[in-house]
Structure 1
Amino acid sequence: MLPSTARSHRQAGFTLVEIAIVLVIIGLLLGGVLKGQSLIDNAKVKNVIQQSTSLQAAVNAYQDKFRALPGDDAQATSHVPGASGNGNGDGQIAEYQLAPQHLALGGFITGSFNGTTDFMTSAQGGAVYIYNDVVGNRGGNGIRLDNLPDTFSEQLDAKLDDGKPDSGGVRATGPYTNNGTIVVRTAVFF
């Protein structure tokens, strides 16, 4: 039998089981935070895709109704009263500042655009244009999304096209690196 002083004096500390439980809890919390951020990013990508699809539908509806492209419409001031200007009617939306105003005044999108300095923004915060531009070695009319994280551009491309930045109907100004770089321009051509 041990003396009474030896029995009452035990070493204090954590067992390996207690430490393992704490580490598992910390791991679950970190996993939940990372998964939550992933869900937020996925929601933003879906919002950008939905915005692009909606704008393309609005352009098509405008073209069906007025037989002209928004921004490029040579008779916009008569088609959509209040428009600040007409396009040149050449089939190329170089008048990108007029495009959202024509669509909004025609009731195809919501918002108020002055036709000169106002522009649309994406869920990520970058500018959005309806524009005739060259992106990724392809030119034409399309929806241009500026300053998206490369993962957003890649997901947009994969869901709407072929997932490659330099081919198909969705193009980007740079490769998809998945390291958080910003793609200056991503275009969805129509």
Structure 2
Amino acid sequence: MSNTRNNGFTMIEVAIVFVIIGLILGLAFKGRDLIAGARVKNTYAGASKIQAAIVSFHERQGRLPGDGCNAASPATASACNGLHDGLLNTAAEQAAFWYELQQQPALLSASDRNMPLGQQWHLVSAGTNLGSNTPANWIVAGPDGTSGVIDVRYACELDNLYDDGNPATGNIRSSAEVGSGAGQYRQGDDCWNPAKAAMKTLAFRLL
């Protein structure tokens, strides 16, 4: 009498396969969350580094970098002898802002303008897109701060972790609206909800 083997899968084998698939999917989602979380922390760290460089420059020169500059690449700090009003609202002042921070002694490198979210930090003065009429300087994701350039879920997480969770107030703002729908967020939200995905702006207030 010959032994025969059933070529089909047993319930235990099928269960093991599903467990393995579940573990793989779980690791994939966990890895994605870790990457997203690292990008949020690195974005905040990058903005904080720029703010620290501004403080250091101000302590040495008595003004903000770029303030009063009439040229994008001033030969010396003393060449920026225009109006020192604390607002960097001309093209020359905004270009000189980055230039002066990268000169000797260099407080920032050129790569410090690069964001983990695939954009570059730019400088703007307060505008309606920032939800404030109060004069202030901001670093924004993208060239003008008016076009949606990052996933709103990152703005939501940054705002909730490091500010007030309201896109229209505080020191971290975006063009998102307050709410729980697509492209919106509010304080205490689950920012990684896929239904929130939309491209919005991001802004950090400077001194």
- Residue matched to 1:108: 107
- Residue matched to 2:117: 124
- Residue matched to 2:176: 174
Residue 91, structure 1, aligned to residue 90, structure 2? no
Normalised to the residue count of structure 1, the TM-score between the two structures is: 0.80
Q: Which runs of 5+ in 2 are unaligned?
A: 143-148, 178-183, 186-192
Cα shift readout 1:58-80 (whole Å, capped 9, x = no counterpart): 11111121111112244854327
> Deviating runs (4+, > 3 A) in structure 1?
7-11, 73-77, 85-88, 175-178
SS in 1 for 2:138: strand
Q: Distance in 2 between matches of 1:87 and 1:129?
A: 22
Residue 70, structure 1, aligned to residue 65, structure 2? yes
Residue 151, structure 1, aligned to residue 167, structure 2? no
> How far did residue 160 of structure 1 move?
2.0
SS in 2 for 1:43: helix
Corresponding pairs, count? 175
SS in 2 for 1:188: strand
Cα shift readout 1:95-114 (whole Å, capped 9, x = no counterpart): 322211111014111128xx
> How far did residue 34 of structure 1 move?
1.1
> Does the 8 Å CA contact 2:69/2:96 hold for their aligned counterparts?
no
> Does the 8 Å CA contact 1:71/1:87 hold for their aligned counterparts?
no
> Does the 8 Å CA contact 1:70/1:98 hold for their aligned counterparts?
yes
**Aligned-residue RMSD, C-alpha:** 2.6
Change (3 A) 1:122 1:88: farther
Aligned counterpart for 2:130 among listed residues 127, 136, 156: 136
Q: Distance in 2 between matches of 1:97 and 1:111?
A: 13
> Quick check: 126-135 or 33-42, which moved more?
126-135
> How far did residue 15 of structure 1 move?
1.2
- Residue matched to 1:38: 33
Q: Which runs of 5+ in 1 are unaligned?
A: 113-118
> Does the 8 Å CA contact 1:157/1:171 hold for their aligned counterparts?
yes
Q: Distance in 2 between matches of 1:111 and 1:161?
A: 27
SS in 2 for 1:96: helix
Amino acid at match of 1:187: A
Amino acid at match of 1:161: D
Q: Distance in 1 between matches of 2:53 and 2:126?
A: 19
- Residue matched to 1:51: 46
Q: Which has the higher strand share?
A: 1
SS in 2 for 1:131: strand
Q: Distance in 1 between matches of 2:41 and 2:82?
A: 32
Q: Distance in 2 between matches of 1:87 and 1:30?
A: 59
Normalised to the residue count of structure 2, the TM-score between the two structures is: 0.74
Change (3 A) 1:67 1:180: same
> Quick check: 35-44 or 143-152, which moved more?
143-152
